[in-house]
């Protein structure tokens, strides 16, 4: 056995490294910027002295906090003696270890070692001061005793420092004489793209200490953290410490990574395949047929999913930004393969995330301020923040938390989530495309009712979807038998009867590749969209007729057309893209119950289920009710009916119906049988 060579005088070796041009410059820069952290690339140590690098990984405490830190300070004293005197210490922060350790591989073997982990920050506490050196005043003699602190609890002196006194207390903590440092706790989770299929993501607790590493990352950020793995035994009150330890990371450095999904450049032969595919005049058809081939039918929904996967181009103007991502909603009867479609998309999208409306954590879909066990508050990112720059597939969206119902408006249009609660104020990014599914309120979709009546989501949320489709389970002999054949075939073979023309792996790479293209609208495409928009608008210009189509739909059309150009890897949005966008938009509007042939689209009717005349009547009912409330407080229903019938000549049956609707919406309520009141 060969004797392991010790590094002779590691501090001396580090000093040599820090005397190289690069590090001399960095060190002298510290005084200029007023910082105390020296960033050191691991690779520099490795090329300088592989043995030193090895030891650093094995004994990080000794090598970083003592040897490297002392050497850096020594060099600082040479570069700027005055500043060195002022700062007392230089913190060496190592970045860029050769490889990241997957969170799920961290274990006993890593305890005490230096590792690098990558993940998403899911939770963060506010920055809190932590006492490093505590000062205690003896209540007997007034002498101050200083205790260097470590571990989670504040340690008081055992005995007074004064030899004359030597009393065992009591002591009083003196804040002004103690030394504090900023600290913050994070929870880091495996990135969706690192997750083995079907596994729940693991998380790791990370402690940050030092004002140059706290407050660097926010929930939703992708980070790379270098730190020392620690194991602590949780304490059970009255019982003692447990034998199984919990791992956490004491961070040495933290870097926020680029938010773009990892899109490793395709290999030359892959790129060739991708470009070859794009040349196919039937490329859109091919992609549609490759989306969830085991699911029978739903061509138009798969087409919408294609647009969603590729997405439009987001525009950042000096004053506003306009999202490029699409939001698609599927409303459907039970058992119509909605969940299956969503799960498929979450798998194939370069950064896809599947969640139910309730969310999988306390943070739900947007974000939440959580009270920690220890009593502190922390900010936790919900699904949309975690899916930043990806696709969030939200199943059972109608069942989201009430808090999310409010916050999701901002997330869906502005692509941010703002939180101001429990002393935490933050705005997180949520730049995601959304594919949502929901069941009809009444169990089954009722085509003669409006979409707003069919789904328990407010119109303000519905209007943020670019496309809405209805999946209905209607018995149809021909389709049923074909579908049965299709499903039974799958069960028999355990394979899809239709081979996807593009295998999922290649499709994912194709999408990543396409995302790099920013197609621009051609004059011809612009004209088509404009014509359609104006035609729809003018159909409603007639006095008193409802607003047909709004600017939101125009923006949706642009996004869809851009996505279609992208799917063919084209830099230009052609007339055919505009036509396809118009066609699918029409289809979506028709599905939600509008007869386009008459050109009388009434978005109000679609979304709220109230035509203008009906809204007028509802208005009359409400104002009459309010008028009568002034006199009697609560209003007798019978009296209201009489008043309305006499004054406005609305039929009793209609009034009854409208009142029922107002009750259902919660605009008015029944404080007791036969009486009404505005909410
Ligand atoms: N068009 C279809 N092609 C192939 N399989 C289908 C189709 N429609 C439904 N199925 C099958 O029916 C089953 C139920 O589908 P799924 O769970 O996705 O329904 P769902 O729409 O999410 O229902 P729910 O609203 O109750 O959640 C799945 O196993 C799915 O494969
Ligand atoms: Mg489902
Ligand atoms: Zn004393």
Question: pLDDT-derived band of residue 539, with 50, 70 and 90 as boundaries?
Answer: low
Higher pLDDT, 90 or 490: 90
The answer, yes or no, to whether any atom of ligand 1 lies below 6 A from the CB of 440, is no
Q: How far apart are CA 207 and CA 376, in angstroms?
A: 14
**What is the CA(335)–ligand 2 centre distance, in A?**
7
The answer, yes or no, to whether residue 525 has pLDDT greater than 80, is yes
When pLDDT is averaged across residues 24-31 and rounded to a whole number, the result is 93
When pLDDT is averaged across residues 148-164 and rounded to a whole number, the result is 85
Mean pLDDT of the chain: 85
Ligand 1 atom at minimal distance to the Cα of residue 338: 21
Tens-digit pLDDT profile for residues 606-621 = 555 555 566 677 788 8
Question: pLDDT-derived band of residue 135, with 50, 70 and 90 as boundaries?
Answer: very high
Q: Which ligand is nearest to the CA of 334?
A: 1
The answer, yes or no, to whether any atom of ligand 1 lies below 6 A from the CB of 334, is yes
Question: pLDDT-derived band of residue 601, with 50, 70 and 90 as boundaries?
Answer: very low
What integer pLDDT is reported at residue 348 of this predicted model? 86
What integer pLDDT is reported at residue 1 of this predicted model? 41
507-510 LR contacts (CB < 8 Å, sep 24+): 507/287, 507/290, 507/348, 508/348, 508/349, 508/350, 509/266, 509/270, 509/274, 510/274, 510/277, 510/287
**What is the CA(145)–ligand 3 centre distance, in A?**
9
Q: Which ligand is nearest to the CA of 171?
A: 3
Q: H/E/C letters for each residue in 182-209?
A: EEEEEEEECCHHHCCCCCCCCEEEEEEE
Q: How far apart are CA 452 and CA 154, in angstroms?
A: 57
When pLDDT is averaged across residues 148-152 and rounded to a whole number, the result is 82
Site to substitute for ligand 1 among 305, 336, 442, 473, most atoms within 8 A of C-beta: 336
The answer, yes or no, to whether any atom of ligand 1 lies below 6 A from the CB of 354, is no
The answer, yes or no, to whether residue 264 has pLDDT greater than 80, is no
Q: Which ligand is nearest to the CA of 338?
A: 1
Tens-digit pLDDT profile for residues 321-367 = 888 999 999 998 888 999 999 999 988 887 888 888 877 777 888 88
The answer, yes or no, to whether any atom of ligand 1 lies below 6 A from the CB of 302, is no
What integer pLDDT is reported at residue 546 of this predicted model? 43
Site to substitute for ligand 1 among 340, 399, 483, 493, most atoms within 8 A of C-beta: 340
What integer pLDDT is reported at residue 475 of this predicted model? 73
Ligand 1 atom at minimal distance to the Cα of residue 336: 21
Ligand 1 atom at minimal distance to the Cα of residue 333: 25
What integer pLDDT is reported at residue 47 of this predicted model? 95
**What is the CA(340)–ligand 1 centre distance, in A?**
6
**What is the CA(336)–ligand 1 centre distance, in A?**
4
Identify any residues that bridge with 144 across adjacent strands, giving them in sequence order.
Answer: 137
Name the packing angle between helices 50-58 and 10-18 (round to 10°): 120
Q: Which residue has the tokens 């903590």?
A: 173
Nearest in space to 114 (alpha carbons), one of 133, 138, 95, 89: 95
* Three-class DSSP category at 140: coil
**What is the CA(356)–ligand 1 centre distance, in A?**
16
**What is the CA(342)–ligand 2 centre distance, in A?**
9
Q: Which residues contact 567 (CB under 8 A, 6 or more apart)?
A: 283, 284, 287, 306, 307, 310, 514
Ligand 1 atom at minimal distance to the Cα of residue 337: 18
What integer pLDDT is reported at residue 285 of this predicted model? 94
Taking CA atoms only, the protein residue closest to ligand 1 atom 27 is 334
Q: How far apart are CA 540 and CA 546, in angstroms?
A: 6
Q: Are 364 and 350 in contact (CB under 8 A)?
A: no
**What is the CA(454)–ligand 2 centre distance, in A?**
17
What integer pLDDT is reported at residue 611 of this predicted model? 56
The answer, yes or no, to whether any atom of ligand 1 lies below 6 A from the CB of 439, is yes
Task: Measure the N-to-C terminal CA separation of the chain; round to a whole number of Å.
Answer: 85
Taking CA atoms only, the protein residue closest to ligand 1 atom 28 is 337
What integer pLDDT is reported at residue 443 of this predicted model? 79
What integer pLDDT is reported at residue 235 of this predicted model? 73
**What is the CA(482)–ligand 1 centre distance, in A?**
15
Q: Which ligand is nearest to the CA of 297?
A: 1
**What is the CA(473)–ligand 2 centre distance, in A?**
14
Site to substitute for ligand 1 among 299, 305, 337, most atoms within 8 A of C-beta: 337
What integer pLDDT is reported at residue 572 of this predicted model? 94
Q: Which ligand is nearest to the CA of 487?
A: 1
Q: Are 600 and 539 in contact (CB under 8 A)?
A: yes
When pLDDT is averaged across residues 202-207 and rounded to a whole number, the result is 92
When pLDDT is averaged across residues 116-126 and rounded to a whole number, the result is 92
The answer, yes or no, to whether residue 225 has pLDDT greater than 60, is yes
What integer pLDDT is reported at residue 496 of this predicted model? 62
Angle at 192 between CA 214 and CA 119, to 5 degrees: 20
Taking CA atoms only, the protein residue closest to ligand 1 atom 7 is 337
DSSP per residue, 359-378: -SSTTTTSEEEEE-TTS-EE
What integer pLDDT is reported at residue 578 of this predicted model? 95
What integer pLDDT is reported at residue 188 of this predicted model? 94
The answer, yes or no, to whether residue 590 has pLDDT greater than 80, is no
Nearest in space to 418 (alpha carbons), one of 398, 403, 433: 403
Ligand 1 atom at minimal distance to the Cα of residue 471: 21
Question: pLDDT-derived band of residue 300, with 50, 70 and 90 as boundaries?
Answer: very high
The answer, yes or no, to whether any atom of ligand 1 lies below 6 A from the CB of 487, is yes
Angle at 103 between CA 267 and CA 229, to 5 degrees: 130
Taking CA atoms only, the protein residue closest to ligand 1 atom 5 is 295
Taking CA atoms only, the protein residue closest to ligand 1 atom 24 is 334
* Dihedral over Cα of 506, 510, 511, 515: its sign: positive
The answer, yes or no, to whether residue 540 has pLDDT greater than 50, is yes
Q: Which ligand is nearest to the CA of 301?
A: 1
Q: Which ligand is nearest to the CA of 160?
A: 3
When pLDDT is averaged across residues 274-302 and rounded to a whole number, the result is 91
**What is the CA(472)–ligand 1 centre distance, in A?**
11
Taking CA atoms only, the protein residue closest to ligand 1 atom 4 is 295
When pLDDT is averaged across residues 171-186 and rounded to a whole number, the result is 91
Tens-digit pLDDT profile for residues 510-520 = 998 998 899 99
The answer, yes or no, to whether residue 191 has pLDDT greater than 90, is no
* Three-class DSSP category at 346: helix
Tens-digit pLDDT profile for residues 367-378 = 888 887 767 788
Q: Which residue has the tokens 């439009």?
A: 312
Ligand 1 atom at minimal distance to the Cα of residue 439: 25
Site to substitute for ligand 1 among 330, 335, 479, most atoms within 8 A of C-beta: 335
The answer, yes or no, to whether any atom of ligand 1 lies below 6 A from the CB of 337, is yes
């Amino acid at each position: 056995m060969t004797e392991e060579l010790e590094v002779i005088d590691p501090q001396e070796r580090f000093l040599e490294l820090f005397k190289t041009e690069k590090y001399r410059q960095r060190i002298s820069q510290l005084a200029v910027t007023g910082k105390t952290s020296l960033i050191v690339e691991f690779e520099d140590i490795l090329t300088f002295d592989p043995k030193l690098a090895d030891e650093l990984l094995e004994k990080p405490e000794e090598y970083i906090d003592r040897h490297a830190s002392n050497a850096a300070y020594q060099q600082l004293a040479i570069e700027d003696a005055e500043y060195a005197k002022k700062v007392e210490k230089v913190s060496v922060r190592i970045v860029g270890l050769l490889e990241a350790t997957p969170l799920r591989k961290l274990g006993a073997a890593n305890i005490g070692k230096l590792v690098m982990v990558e993940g998403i920050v899911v939770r963060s506490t506010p920055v809190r001061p932590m006492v490093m050196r505590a000062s205690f005043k003896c209540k007997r003699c007034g002498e101050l005793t200083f205790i260097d602190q470590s571990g989670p609890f504040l340690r008081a002196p055992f005995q007074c420092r004064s030899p004359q006194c030597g009393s065992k207390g009591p002591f009083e903590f003196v804040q002004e004489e103690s030394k504090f440092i900023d600290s913050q706790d994070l929870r880091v989770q495996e990135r969706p793209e690192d997750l083995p299929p079907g596994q729940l993501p693991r998380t790791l607790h990370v402690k940050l200490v030092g004002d140059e590493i706290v407050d660097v990352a926010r929930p939703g950020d992708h980070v790379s953290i270098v730190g020392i793995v620690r194991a602590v035994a949780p304490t059970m009150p009255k019982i003692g410490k447990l034998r199984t330890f919990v791992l956490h990371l004491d961070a040495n450095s933290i870097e926020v990574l680029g938010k773009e999904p990892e899109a490793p450049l395709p290999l030359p032969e892959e790129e060739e395949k991708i470009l070859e595919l794009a040349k196919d005049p039937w490329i859109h058809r091919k992609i549609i047929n490759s989306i969830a081939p085991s699911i029978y039918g739903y061509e138009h929904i798969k087409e919408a999913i294609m647009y969603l996967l590729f997405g439009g181009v987001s525009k950042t103007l000096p004053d506003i930004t306009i999202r490029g991502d699409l939001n698609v909603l599927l409303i459907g009867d039970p058992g119509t393969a909605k969940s299956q479609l969503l799960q498929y998309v979450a798998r194939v999208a370069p950064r896809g995330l599947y969640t139910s409306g309730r969310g999988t954590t306390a943070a739900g879909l947007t974000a939440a301020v959580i009270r920690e066990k220890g009593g502190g508050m922390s900010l936790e990112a919900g699904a949309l923040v975690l899916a930043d720059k990806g696709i969030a597939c939200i199943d059972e969206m109608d069942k989201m938390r009430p808090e999310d119902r409010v916050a999701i408006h901002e997330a869906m249009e502005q692509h941010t989530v703002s939180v101001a609660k429990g002393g935490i104020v933050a705005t997180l990014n949520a730049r995601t495309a959304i594919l949502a599914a929901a069941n009809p309120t009444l169990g089954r979709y009722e085509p003669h009712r409006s979409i707003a009546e069919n789904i328990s989501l407010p119109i303000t949320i519905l209007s943020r979807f670019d496309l809405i489709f209805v999946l209905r389970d209607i018995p149809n002999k021909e389709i049923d038998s074909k579908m049965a054949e299709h499903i039974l075939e799958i069960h028999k073979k355990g394979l899809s009867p239709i081979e996807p023309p593009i295998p999922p792996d290649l499709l994912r790479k194709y999408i990543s590749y396409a995302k790099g293209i920013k197609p621009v609208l051609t004059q011809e495409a612009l004209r088509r969209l404009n014509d359609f928009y104006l035609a729809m608008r003018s159909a409603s210009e007639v006095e008193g007729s409802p607003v047909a189509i709004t600017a939101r739909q125009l923006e949706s059309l642009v996004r869809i057309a851009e996505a279609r150009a992208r799917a063919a890897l084209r830099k230009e949005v052609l007339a055919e893209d505009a036509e396809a966008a118009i066609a699918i938009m029409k289809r979506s509007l028709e599905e939600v119950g509008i007869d386009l042939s008459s050109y009388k689209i009434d978005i109000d009717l679609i979304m709220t289920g109230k035509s203008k005349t009906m809204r007028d009547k509802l208005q009359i009912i409400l104002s009459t009710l309010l008028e009568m409330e002034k006199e009697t407080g609560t209003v007798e229903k019978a009296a209201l009916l009489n008043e309305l019938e006499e004054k406005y000549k609305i039929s009793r049956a209609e009034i009854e119906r409208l009142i029922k609707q107002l009750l259902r919406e919660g605009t008015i309520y029944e404080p007791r049988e036969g009486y009404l009141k505005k909410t």
